[in-house]
Copies of this chain bind each other. A is one copy, B any other.
């Protein structure tokens, strides 16, 4: 059976309701499926380096801006705050991050990379950039780079709505 692939291509079908198949022409399906298919290879590399995907996301977020609050990290890494709190506990225990009180407001807690965490973040970001280059090179006729340019526009627009 060819039906077992992880990201099967939907075939156009003439016999669906109203004669028009829905999912292959639905932008939210295309976004979610393309995101999953594109991320899958790199996530395997993340796990091969002893990290879970949420841990990699936290390292990458803190590498761009160290000392973030958990609320902000949860939003950037697309995770429920309760789940992220447990992940940060585990990363703290492994010596990758540490919590410190905000200098201006002691009730606020911020998360910082340790030197070991910063080093691991740097190495994983190098791998992520290499994977991205290979991925974009593989897509036909510059479509990957054009997709990235448009995603920057759309991401800014959607997130500016908040």
A136: nearest chain-B partner, CB-CB: B27
Question: A76 vs B159: C-alpha distance in the bound complex, in angstroms?
Answer: 27
**Please, which residues of chain B bring their CB within 8 A of the CB of A75?**
4-8
A153: nearest chain-B partner, CB-CB: B143
How many copies of this chain does one complex carry?
A: 2
Chain B CB within 8 A of A32 CB: yes
Question: A34 vs B158: C-alpha distance in the bound complex, in angstroms?
Answer: 7
Q: Which of B6, B28, B162 contacts A128 (CB 8 A)?
A: B28
Lowest 4 A-B CB distances belong to which pairs? A5-B162, A31-B35, A30-B151, A37-B158
Please name 21 pairs of A and B residues whose Cβ atoms are closer than 8 Å in the assembled complex, sorted by A.
Answer: A5-B159, A7-B162, A8-B76, A10-B64, A16-B64, A17-B118, A17-B122, A22-B60, A22-B64, A24-B152, A27-B147, A28-B38, A28-B39, A28-B128, A30-B148, A30-B152, A31-B35, A32-B39, A38-B158, A139-B153, A143-B157
